[in-house]
Every structure is written in C-alpha cells, then in structure tokens.
Amino acid sequence: MNIAFIGLGNMGAPMARNLVAAGHTVTGYDTAATPEGLTLAETAAGAARDAEVVITMLPNGAILRRVAADVIPAMAPGAALLDCSTVDVDSARAVAEQADAAGLLALDAPVSGGIGGAEAGTLTFMVGGSDAALKKAQPLLDIMGGRTVHCGPSGNGQAAKICNNMILGATMAVTCEAFALADKLGLDRQAMYDVASTSSGQSWSLTTYCPAPGVGPTSPSDNGYQPGFAAELMAKDLGLAQQAARAVGAVTPMGDAALSEYTTFVDAEDGRGRDFSALLPRLSDKS
C-alpha cells in the first residue's frame, strides 16, 4: 500500500519503519522529528494526498483535530484514516465523523506496548470503527502489532485504552506503595515479590513490569527507570480517564487518586522523563 504516517516520534518512527520493512511505501511527516530511513513530505496534506491509509500518532486531541482538518480534504474517497494516538474520546469521535462525511474510512486505534513494542512490532491495538475500515487496515496492524481487539464503533478504542491505563496507573501506584511499606517493615523485596506474585496481590505491574530493580523480569527499574512508558504519559492518560468519567457521570475515586499521585510526581517532583514505575524510589525517599 501507499501509506502516509504523520507523527514520527518515539512511537511513530519505529512503527513506520516496520511498514517499510514489510514492503509498503511510506511517506512520513512530522513538525520536528526527521528519522532516518523514511521518506518525508513537506506537509501533512502532501503526505496524505496519494495514500490509501493515513496513520497518525499524535500527542493530544487538539493536535489530532488540527491534523485531521488538514489531511481529510487531501485524501481520496475510500482511503482510511487510522489514528493510533491516545486522545480524548470526543476528539476521536469528532474526527471519525469528519472522515465519514468525506467518504473516508476511520479507525481510532490507540496502542499498548510502549517503545519496545513499537520497535518489535508487538503492539496491542484497541480499535474503534467499522468492520470495513478494520478490514482495510488489518494487514498494517498485523505488521505493527501482535494483537488487535475490535472494541466497537468509533471512539471505543480510546475508551478501552483509558480504562485499561486507569487500571495500570492505580495498580502500579499501589505496587510501589507496597514495596516501600515492605522496606519499612524489614521485609526483603524478593520475599515480597515471591509472595505477592503467586498470590492474590499478583498483577501485571508486579510480575511483568516490577518497579523494584533486580526483582522479577527485567524492566525499566533495572535501567535506572529510563522510560518504557514515561510518567508524564501516564498522568496524561489518567487525566483523559477522569475527563471521560466526568462527562458520563462515572465514579472513579481510585483513578482520581492515581491521577493526583502522578500529577504531583511529574509536575512538582522529579518524575518527568522517568518511567512511571519510578514512583517506588520517590516513595522510598519520602518514607
């Protein structure tokens, strides 16, 4: 396929390279990044003009709306707009409506798996949109990811992403609190892990992405908390979850508490640019 890829940062660039490696023609565009190995256009609309699928990986809903307003008029009817950003549900649905009105196919397909998953082509895509749009995009999703879950109509991919990350943020926060408490109680971290990882305290945050260095499988904690998923991105996603909760009248006190914890960590402490599991040394230092 002829593909346009708009947004070539830490996630977008490796995703685009995987498409090139699979034999697709990819034209990229980014306002700042100029990654090697990709053909770049001078404008987003220029990249999109002859594309069968336009893929976007952008920081937030406001930027997605601006880019969509630029590229949708340049796209040929029947082409697909595949947004892999994590944005608010309202923006995802508004862009899908604009694409549909222009005779385009639209999918919101935020990802899980981080930079490592983007590089390895093992991302999980949470997809909202029509069956027809998914059928067109599926061969590309199969290259960039290891699993695709069709969550329903437009916006539901974003809904799934923010609900999932609300669970992730809250469980990581309490996992870090538990290790900090174990330290104070004189409980060895390995013993704490051995118990919790095989009993009712088990979670992905503990057994796959353990915040304690030297415990469990290798994770960012073993690399000085260099980010696999940055704390500021977790704060962003938790904020999106709370925005959505307010919009529909959902009660999410644990999600709100996790948002407060990560907002403080990022904005008032040293969390920006560190992995979201770096709450553990922060809590240990405070204890």
Question: What does the pLDDT profile of the chain (287 residues) look like in tens digits?
Answer: 999 999 999 899 999 999 999 999 999 999 988 888 899 999 999 999 999 999 999 999 999 999 999 999 999 999 999 999 999 999 999 999 999 999 999 999 999 988 889 999 999 999 999 999 999 999 999 999 999 999 999 999 999 999 999 999 999 999 999 999 999 999 999 999 999 999 999 999 999 999 999 999 999 999 999 998 999 999 999 999 999 999 999 999 999 999 999 999 999 999 999 999 999 999 988 75
* Per-residue CA distances from 110 to 128, 136, 188 (Å): 9, 17, 38
* Per-residue CA distances from 276 to 114, 120, 161, 173, 240 (Å): 12, 21, 17, 9, 16
Token pair 């830490």 is at which residue?
10
Whether residue 12 contacts residue 115, with contact meaning beta carbons closer than 8 Å, is answered with no
User: Is residue 236 among the annotated active site residues?
Assistant: no
Token pair 């990986």 is at which residue?
57
Supply φ then ψ for residue 145, to 5 degrees. -140, 170
Distance separating alpha carbons of residues 140 and 112, to the nearest angstrom: 16
Q: What does the radius of gyration of the chain's CA atoms come to, in whole angstroms?
A: 20
Give me the pLDDT at residue 287, please: 53
Distance separating alpha carbons of residues 275 and 225, to the nearest angstrom: 5
The pTM (predicted TM-score) of the whole model is 0.90
Name the helix (H) or strand (E) containing 246: helix 231-248
Say which of 135, 136, 161, 286 is annotated catalytic: 161
Distance separating alpha carbons of residues 178 and 188, to the nearest angstrom: 12
Give me the pLDDT at residue 33, please: 87
Give me the pLDDT at residue 114, please: 85
